[in-house]
């Protein structure tokens, strides 16, 4: 290990990401200097603008470096001198995205690129942003609930390419650290559906769920999910980065029992007043959703999830790391309030 490592320097990959931006803000608040990767320096202004919306003005404590998960260029430079790495960037295939290998290879290779660069730079620990998709999908009916960190998604079941890529890339990360890590430590965070205050129009898939409800979608499919606030996800990343007990562990980032979509709708109705006047509280029967999915490819992905219980436990992070997340209701309301504040929902 070189002596030029700065204990207060952290690399956050994929600075344009929703979770990444909250991790950057949490690190800055805790006194760290942050370096972040973007695929193009043209996006620096957008990232800084989003951080400003979140109340952060990092100035020179935040630096940008160009690196892409699909190539080796820039990764050694990105990791140099950093004590820690938070790796949440994941390659998203462009275009038709139907082939599994378009998802899986880049995700696996991307993780290995970052881990190799971290190991070579003498980084102490990498905190990997994995996903609930690596834990709780593809399981047969009757499989135990709630899901825990010892569970892995069953890839022989009905698993979407994105979830499969998250499962295989997290497994590849653990294998790499065990066989070639040379002392590099790894922790993984597996968030459920991530809500919380949007920082701009480019937000998470889960926030779109709240937006669609507020914009008055036709009804509520029988979809079940756990939820977590992005501020708490960032806080958990920070704890996993520095707590000795977090090394070699994975943590579900989830803040309470799972909710059905109609329950989410009711929270919005109860708490958001006029802004929630279009929120539907009618439950759509499964046959109707299946029929609609034949005509609308965007709905195809939710068909395997109809009626599927997604309940997961965040007990481990609370017990080992003292993590205290907001309730799912608070996360839902914070999301909705931010969409109204930023003018992102139709009135």
Report pLDDT digits (tens) over 189-234.
999 999 999 998 877 889 999 999 999 999 999 999 999 999 999 9
Residue in 166, 222, 278, 316 annotated catalytic? 166
Token pair recorded at residue 159: 């698993």
Which residues of the chain have a pLDDT value below 70? 1-5, 93-98, 347
The overall pTM is greater than 0.85: yes
Distance, in Å, from the CA atom of 341 to the CA atom of 333, rounded to the nearest integer, reads 12
State the pLDDT at residue 107. Answer: 92
Residue 282 DSSP code = P
Q: How far apart are CA 136 and CA 138, in angstroms?
A: 7
What pLDDT was estimated at residue 312?
Answer: 97
The answer to whether the peptide bond before residue 319 is cis (omega within 30 degrees of 0) is no
Kindly report the number of other CB atoms within 10 A of residue 139's CB atom.
20
CA atoms within 13 A on the CB side of 343: 0
**CA dist list (Å): 330 to 131, 196, 197, 227, 271:** 21, 8, 11, 10, 10
Cβ atoms of 125 and 185 closer than 8 Å:
yes
Burial per residue of 65-92, b for 16 or more beta-carbon CB atoms within 10 angstroms, e otherwise: bbbbbeeeebbeebbbbbbbbbbbbbbe
197: left (phi over 0), alpha (psi -120 to 50) or beta: beta
Query: How many whole angstroms separate alpha carbon 306 and alpha carbon 283?
Result: 12
Question: What's the pLDDT at 303?
Answer: 87
Contact 264, 229 (CB under 8 A): no
Whole-angstrom distance, CA of residue 200 vs CA of residue 47: 10
pLDDT tens sequence across 137-192: 999 988 999 999 999 999 999 888 888 999 999 999 999 999 999 999 999 999 99
Q: How far apart are CA 17 and CA 9, in angstroms?
A: 19
All structural domains of the chain: 6-195+228-254+311-325 (3.40.50.720)
pLDDT confidence of residue 201: 84
148 catalytic residue (yes or no): no
Position 3 scores a pLDDT of 46
pLDDT of residue 254: 98
């Amino acid at each position: 290990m070189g002596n030029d490592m700065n204990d207060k320097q952290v690399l956050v990959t994929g600075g344009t990401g929703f979770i990444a931006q909250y991790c950057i803000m949490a690190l800055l608040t805790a006194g760290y200097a942050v370096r972040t990767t973007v695929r193009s320096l043209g996006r620096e202004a957008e990232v800084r603008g989003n951080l400003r919306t979140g109340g952060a003005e990092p100035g020179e404590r935040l630096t940008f470096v160009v690196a892409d998960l699909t190539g080796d260029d820039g990764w050694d430079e990105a990791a140099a001198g950093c004590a820690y790495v938070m790796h949440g960037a994941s390659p998203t295939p462009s275009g038709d995205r139907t082939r599994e290998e378009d998802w899986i290879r880049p995700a696996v290779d991307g993780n290995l690129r970052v881990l190799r660069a971290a190991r070579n730079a003498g980084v102490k620990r990498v905190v990997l942003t994995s996903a609930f998709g690596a834990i709780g999908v593809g399981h047969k009916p009757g499989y135990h609930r709630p899901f825990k960190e010892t569970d892995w998604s069953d890839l022989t079941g009905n698993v979407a390419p994105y979830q499969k890529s998250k499962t295989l890339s997290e497994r590849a990360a653990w294998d790499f650290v065990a066989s070639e890590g040379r002392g590099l430590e790894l922790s993984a965070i597996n968030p459920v559906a991530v809500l919380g205050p949007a920082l701009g129009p480019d937000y998470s898939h889960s926030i779109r769920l709240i937006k669609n409800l507020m914009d008055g979608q036709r009804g509520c499919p029988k979809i079940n999910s756990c939820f977590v606030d992005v501020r708490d996800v960032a806080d958990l990343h920070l704890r996993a980065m520095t707590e000795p007990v977090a090394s070699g562990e994975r943590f579900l980032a989830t803040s309470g029992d799972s909710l059905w979509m109609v329950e989410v709708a009711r929270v919005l109705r109860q708490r958001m007043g006029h802004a929630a006047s279009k929120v539907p509280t009618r439950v759509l029967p499964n046959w109707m959703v299946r029929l609609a999915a034949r005509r609308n490819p965007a709905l195809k992905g939710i068909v395997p999830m109809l009626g599927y219980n997604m309940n997961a436990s965040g007990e481990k992070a609370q017990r080992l790391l003292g993590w205290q997340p907001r309730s799912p209701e608070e996360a839902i309301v914070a999301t909705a309030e931010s969409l109204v504040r930023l003018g992102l929902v139709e009135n």
